[in-house]
Amino acid sequence: MRIFFYTKYDRQGASSRYRTYQYQEHFEREGFITHCHPLFSREYLRDRYSRGRMATGFIDLYKRRIEDMKHVSDADLAVVEKEFLPYLPALLERKAFREGKRILLDYDDAVFENYRRSRNPTTRLLLRNKIPKLLEWADGVTCGSAYLASYARERARRVWLVPTVVDTTRYLPHDHEHEGLISIGWIGTPWSARYLPVVRRAVERVAREVPIRLVVIGAQAPAWEGVQSQSHAWSEEKEAEWIRWLDIGIMPLVDTPFERGKCGLKLLQYMAAGVVPVASDVGGNRDIIRGGVDGFLCRTEEEWVDSLLLLARDISIRRRMAEEALVRVRQHFSLAAWAPRLASIYREVLSGER
């Protein structure tokens, strides 16, 4: 059985890496013949992070994607990350859906919210109904969170909840036997670093009570009053090692429709390394953290301060919750647990009627 993956990025993009590329070895063992067709190159992604939204070269990348779409019928199953052609009308993808033998969509973000709530009136007019149309045309949909699955079930014929997962074998347990500053860490991209200000006041208040260090992986650490900070450039080879040395891992978010579709990957990375997660009580974070058991969910600044102070001051609580977090991610959010399930979903789609 031949499967084509139409990913948004190559391995450099976290969504494509964790939703597609990390599974490839397992799929090959299952007997699938796979091939990935990324839309955006790592050079484009690097350019976007350094320049912002005005990255160049996307026209040539879209031309290549259109050429790749012409071969969709060569695959027994095409798995499309979100959409073939972002920010272009659904009509331009219709031919691929007609010609493909089986097409499965995969979502780990609420991209439909970007379209229907866009500040650009043209985008709202042309694209607000795009994702619903794609969901209707597809043979099935996999979704990374309960919020996304609930949206898809109103429109798609078949929906499976497939959380974003981590390869727990890549992570060494956190070493709690150290002294000095408590490391509060965050991992992400220069783009997602826009959520860090959500916890600025809380972290500044905590820094006045206990010695802490803010560690930012993948973006520039902010200069906050009274807070020591350091930055580490992201790399796939080093991320697990950097996370291992954190004491607390944070995932702040704003509570808006788009963020409610987030799948909480950061939390799983922290938990796989035995690091206690603290996160905004938004979206997929609620699917992962059991508040007070293996992490904390926070709605207010006071809850952020109380949670961070408790963990920073009491190593026994950190150890206990870290152990619970490690067990939870291995049982429910690991690559080993989900690779055979996802392969089974693909077989189900392949065997079903078009």
Residue 313 CA from chain centroid, whole number: 30
pLDDT score at 84:
98
Q: Give me the residues paired with residue 213 across strands.
A: 183, 228
Domain 168-332 in CATH 3.30.465.10? no
Residue 215 confidence (pLDDT) above 60:
yes
Q: What is the mean pLDDT of residues 193-222?
A: 97
Mean pLDDT computed over 16-42: 95
Tens digits of residue pLDDT in 299-322: 999 999 999 999 999 999 999 999
Nearest C-alpha neighbor of 266 from the set 335, 174, 324, 189: 189
On average, the pLDDT of the chain sits at 93
Q: How far is CA 168 from CA 36, 73, 128, 227, in A?
A: 24, 35, 38, 31
pTM metric for this prediction:
0.92
> How many Å apart are CA 288 and CA 67, to the nearest integer?
39
What pLDDT, in 10s, does the model give residues 64-76? Answer: 999 999 999 999 9
pLDDT at 54 over 70: no
Q: What pLDDT is recorded for position 180?
A: 75
Task: Please state the CATH superfamily assignment of the domain spanning residues 2-165+335-351 in this structure.
Answer: Glycogen Phosphorylase B; (3.40.50.2000)
Q: Contact, 221 vs 214, CB < 8 A?
A: yes
Query: How is the beta sheet containing 276-280 ordered, strand by strand?
Result: 228-232, 212-217, 182-187, 248-251, 276-280, 296-298
Residue intervals in the chain for CATH 3.40.50.2000: 2-165+335-351, 168-332
Residue 6's pLDDT band (boundaries 50, 70, 90)?
very high
β partners of residue 184? 214, 248
pLDDT grade, residue 175 (50/70/90)? confident
Mean pLDDT throughout 115-126?
Answer: 92
